[in-house]
Structure 1
Amino acid sequence: MATSQVETVTTGADKAKLFAAVAIVLASVAGFYVLGKQGPLIQWGALVLGLVLAVVMFLTSEHGRQFMGFSRDAWREVKKVVWPTRKETLQMTGYVFAFVVLMALFLWLTDKTLEWVLYDLVLGWRK
């Protein structure tokens, strides 16, 4: 069964909302630096208020609604995950460490064997 994706056309109002959200973010960051002499409370208040306003503006646009739908679907999928128990996690971590040690030994032995073959036997360079 094939499902078709329906793409919505972004309207001028949605584009204006996105532009306004970006403009509000830029204005709130600029205001943070401009209001530096007013004190940290006003400075941070302007920044936080501007960012909250920008987020609200973004979420009212079509892209914001799509993002919220995606977030809900992603959260629903995360709830379906069966997380490993502590015992399983420790066992798998132990397996990974053991494998890393074995691979390190194997690569070291391979390196030393090739070094011996090439430098001592083939080229005759003694250390």
Structure 2
Amino acid sequence: MANSSAETVNTIGNRLLFALSILLIIAGVSGFYLLEMYDWYIRSLVLVICVVVGIAVELASSSGRSFIIFVKDSYREVQKVIWPTRKEASQTTIVVFSFVLLMAIYLWISDKTIEWIIFSLILGWK
């Protein structure tokens, strides 16, 4: 069964915009390497311009507009998150570090006990 929530590029216009954006980005990267005779800042400017225009072209398509809507919705959801206070974050951090320290001590004791049993009692090594 097909995933109905998966977004596909379904119109010719969207496909052309997507292809154009990919071609612009490829042209920018290619131009950066093919324009060796120019200074690095001119080559970098060509790259940045092509990538920015490519992204702008893609954002003009329906999938780009959906992406913008998704980003705005995500930002709104992040604003709804109730972040812990400094005191809560500090207390949680202390609890986590304490647990890690206790587990480290427990594992060290277990390791040394097993080492003592194997090497001293079973193998007889001193």
TM over 0.5: yes
Answer yes or no: is 1:58 the counterpart of 2:33.
no
The alignment-based identity, stated in percent, is 41
TM-score (norm 1): 0.83
After TM superposition, give the deviation of residue 85 of structure 1 in Å: 2.2
> Which runs of 5 or more structure 2 residues have no equivalent in the other structure?
none
Question: What pairs with 1:78-97 in structure 2 (closer than 5 Å)?
Answer: 78-97=78-97
Match of 1:126 in 2: 125
After TM superposition, give the deviation of residue 115 of structure 1 in Å: 2.3
TM-score (norm 2): 0.84
8 Å Cα contact 1:10/1:62 also seen in 2? no
Match of 2:109 in 1: 109
> Which runs of 5 or more structure 1 residues have no equivalent in the other structure?
none
Match of 1:36 in 2: 36
RMSD, aligned CA: 2.1
Match of 1:100 in 2: 100
Mark the CA change 1:124 to 1:21 in structure 2 (over 3 Å): closer, same or farther: same
After TM superposition, give the deviation of residue 97 of structure 1 in Å: 1.3
C-alpha separation in 2, matches of 1:83 and 1:92? 13
Q: Deviations over 1:47-66 (max 9, x none)?
A: 11101110111001121111
